[in-house]
Structure 1
Amino acid sequence: MSTQTWTQARVRALHDDLVNLYEPVDRETEHGADPTANPGEGVRQLVTTILSQNVADENTSRAAAALFNRYADFAAIEAADHDELAETIRVAGLADQKAARIQRALSAVREETGGAYSLAFLDAMATDGAKAWLTDIKGVGPKTASVVLNFHFGKPTMAVDTHVERVSKRFELVPESASNAAAHDRLDEIVPDELIYPLHVLLIRHGRTHCSARDADCANPVCETYCDCNFCP
């Protein structure tokens, strides 16, 4: 099918079919009733999402635990010796780059707020402006920004990880040749705002359960309806 066939109505149908295959997504179960109640939680999520870049969830959790156990607060992380910080998060991979990205991000937040480690100011900004502010930080790309903005603030911007990108391309929601940044733009354009978060979760579930990178199992009603990849019969 052509990407031009993807109307919002068809995206809604895809969401409903994924819900029927798996189960409805409960945002409160995933992230709590009000993740913005603690101003520091947004910064913690930004730091944790930087740690998660190109690494398995288990190693992200281990690196985050080591980081927040070693340093008393965000000020201590920003002021930490670079090599010490990199060693602390080494299990997350790319430790030198991630240490630098974390310290740059914390510095940018502190300078923007006049001393506070809080992203509350992003809540009042339009989604595009908030995403632009975050991605102006070297090492913070559209996925990292979208995770923070959607998961923490509920802003309508799709976080496109490897699963979401793979399934979206196989379903031709986005062109096969699209860059990750272009995939973010395309999905933000065609997915209804209220479905951004649940569809993100459902596409990940589908990518992990059926639509894996090398051995896809297309014998399911969602693939039968929406997919025509090389693994489909």
Structure 2
Amino acid sequence: MSTRSADWDEAAVRDLHAELVELHGAVGASDAHGADSDADPGEGVRQLLTTILSQNVADANTDRAAESLFSRYDDFAAIESAPTDELAETIRVAGLADTKATRIQRALAAIREETGGAYSLAFLDAMGTEEAKEWLTEIKGVGPKTASVVLNFHFGKPTMAVDTHVERVSKRFGLVPESASNARAHDVLDATIPDELTYPMHVLLIEHGRTHCSARGPDCDNPVCERYCDCEWC
């Protein structure tokens, strides 16, 4: 029987993390370097655009769309100024191409306007996590998951990116209320997971969702599910 949401204090989360590590192995440190300007100043922007491409599509198609996008256009200015229908055709393999093309150009315009002409997200590094997330999510089409991917993976900020695996496992374990929206799940997990465990817990919850706690026909014969899960198969 799972620990219910009211009982998830820091010690309980650390226990869950330890048991997930025991089952799946330790997670290495994030590659986040903490400041967009420390390396390629456009790398954070590239990650934002790639994450927009990844919305509601398989990883393989995201990779193909990103390769097509960044090989066709010389720079971010060219992407922003491209005819939207041409851009949509370039990223067609990612699905929802017209919508994603508009979101990409809208995001690039917002960044350029914020910086006075540069395509860099370095300014987010100086912001607190919530302020940075608020800035990103004010761009129509950039939700909390997309913002959290950029902020956690690129800037090392402690905010959980809640994909379908993280949301499903978190609800089955009682970390997040079953009725919570995806946006609410982000808020709950950010408040519950200790900052230094945000990235490893993200990776471990995804791994557990893929290998054991799948949406249909999960494999509950493992010590983590036996202790924490409350799904109908356990």
Q: For the superposition of Structure 1 and Structure 2, which TM-score range results when normalised by the shorter chain?
A: over 0.9
DSSP 3-state at the match of 2:156 = coil
TM-score between the two structures when normalised by the length of structure 1: 0.96
* Equivalence for 1:50: 52
Q: Is the 8 A contact 1:160 1:180 kept in 2?
A: yes
Query: Which has the higher relative contact order, 1 or 2, with Cα contacts under 8 A spaced 6 or more apart?
Result: 2
How much does 1:34 deviate? 6.6
Q: Give ranges in structure 1 of 5+ residues lacking alignment.
A: none
* Equivalence for 2:115: 113
**1:145 aligns to 2:147 (yes or no):** yes
2:180 to 178, 181, 196: 178
Instruction: Please give the residue correspondences for 1:22-33 in structure 2 after superposition, counting only pairs within 5 Å.
Output: 22-28=24-30, 31=31
The number of residue pairs the alignment matches comes to 230
Q: Is the 8 A contact 2:32 2:155 kept in 1?
A: no
Percent of aligned pairs with the same amino acid: 74
Instruction: Please give the residue correspondences for 1:34-49 in structure 2 after superposition, counting only pairs within 5 Å.
Output: 36=36, 37-49=39-51
Residues 1:46 and 1:165: Cα distance change in structure 2 (over 3 Å): same
Q: Give ranges in structure 2 of 5+ residues lacking alignment.
A: none
* Equivalence for 2:222: 220
Equivalent AA in structure 1 for residue 110 of structure 2: A
Q: Is the 8 A contact 1:35 1:41 kept in 2?
A: no
Instruction: Determine the C-alpha separation between the residues in 1 that align with 2:127 and 2:97.
Output: 31
Equivalent AA in structure 2 for residue 115 of structure 1: G
Instruction: Please give the residue correspondences for 1:185-196 in structure 2 after superposition, counting only pairs within 5 Å.
Output: 185-196=187-198
How much does 1:2 deviate? 2.5
CA RMSD of aligned residues (A): 1.1
Instruction: Determine the C-alpha separation between the residues in 2 that align with 1:230 and 1:90.
Output: 38
Instruction: Determine the C-alpha separation between the residues in 1 that align with 2:81 and 2:217.
Output: 45
DSSP 3-state at the match of 1:231 = coil
* Equivalence for 2:212: 210
TM-score between the two structures when normalised by the length of structure 2: 0.96
Instruction: Determine the C-alpha separation between the residues in 2 that align with 1:105 and 1:35.
Output: 19
* Equivalence for 1:20: 22
How much does 1:224 deviate? 0.7
